[in-house]
Chain A
Amino acid sequence: QVQLVESGGGVVQPGGSLRLSCAASGFTFSSYGMHWVRQAPGKGLEWVAFIRYDGSNKYYADSVKGRFTISRDNSKNTLYLQMNSLRAEDTAVYYCAKGLGTMDLWGQGTLVTVSS
């Protein structure tokens, strides 16, 4: 069925790294732009990054620019988020979402906790 499944979350120390994955199924992954959106505990939604359908362009929120890298492998129907130099304020549930302007399909999210 049409779905997105995130993985790779966990507990990491400040300054550490983590790579999140988002496996897509049920639609033509290579035809759609993809986003990462995060939600800190008890807080609202924050857009993190976007990648065009073919990976040609990538865009980031100022809060993660230079630390996070979005990428995709269309042969594996998978989206990635490489997170480096993690900070306590990066603690959140990270969602992948499909779409260009609007986000019409979301995964269930994966929790990233940055703590010593």
Chain B
Amino acid sequence: DIVMTQSPDSLAVSLGERATINCKSSQSVLYSSNNKNYLAWYQQKPGQPPKLLIYWASTRESGVPDRFSGSGSGTDFTLTISSLQAEDVAVYYCQQYYSTPLFTFGPGTKVDIK
């Protein structure tokens, strides 16, 4: 099974500042035949279901603000919020879908306002 880890567990960032969340997979999620990383990011605000933000490691879902960006390849990935807004307070999860139809999420990173 592919195990996902995230760091840090939580972070507090000032409004307008950058937030960076890391995700690591226990094995590569890069599929060599199409050169795609099978890695997604989700945002879960308090009391709400998760929302898909990014897939293929760096493609924003329709309607997601461009302050959210994803990067990385293989086993190491990053979600960056370039200028934190109050509405971005949430828990962020990475998820691998390389081992489809078996899926695993990271443990989550909580983002708060400093």
- Selecting from B20-28, B48-56, B78-86, the interface stretch reads B48-56
- Selecting from A9-17, A24-32, A73-81, A103-111, the interface stretch reads A103-111
Whether B52 and A107, one on each chain, are in contact in the complex, defined by CB atoms closer than 8 angstroms, is no
Instruction: Considering the complex, give the chain A residue whose CB is closest to the CB of B96.
Output: A101
Partner among B49, B51, B97 whose Cβ is within 8 Å of the Cβ of A108: B49
A3–chain B nearest beta-carbon distance, Å? 11
B79–chain A nearest beta-carbon distance, Å? 14
Instruction: Considering the complex, give the chain B residue whose CB is closest to the CB of A59.
Output: B101
Q: Considering only CB atoms and an 8 Å cut-off, how many residues of chain B contact the other chain?
A: 24
The B31-47 residues at the A interface (CB cut-off 8 A) are 38, 40, 42, 44
Whether B104 and A102, one on each chain, are in contact in the complex, defined by CB atoms closer than 8 angstroms, is no
Among B48, B52, B91, B108, the one with the most A-chain Cβ atoms within 10 Å of its Cβ is: B52
Q: B residues within 8 A CB of A46?
A: 105
A17–chain B nearest beta-carbon distance, Å? 25
Residues A101 and B93 in contact in the complex (CB < 8 Å), given A44-B105, A47-B103, A50-B103: no
- List the count of A-B residue pairs having beta carbons below 8 Å apart: 58
A74–chain B nearest beta-carbon distance, Å? 18
B62–chain A nearest beta-carbon distance, Å? 9
Check A88 for interface membership: any CB of B closer than 8 A: no
Q: Considering only CB atoms and an 8 Å cut-off, how many residues of chain A contact the other chain?
A: 23
Instruction: Considering the complex, give the chain B residue whose CB is closest to the CB of A93.
Output: B49
The A15-68 residues at the B interface (CB cut-off 8 A) are 33, 35, 37, 44-47, 50, 52, 57, 59, 61
In the complex, besides A45-B108, A102-B40, A102-B95, 18 extra interface pairs with C-beta distance below 8 angstroms are: A37-B50, A44-B93, A44-B105, A44-B106, A45-B42, A45-B44, A45-B50, A45-B93, A45-B95, A46-B105, A47-B102, A47-B103, A47-B104, A57-B101, A101-B40, A101-B103, A103-B42, A103-B52
User: Nearest 7 CB-CB pairs, A to B?
Assistant: A101-B97, A106-B49, A59-B101, A47-B103, A45-B105, A44-B108, A102-B55
Q: Which residues of A contact B (CB under 8 A)?
A: 33, 35, 37, 44-47, 50, 52, 57, 59, 61, 95, 97, 100-104, 106-109
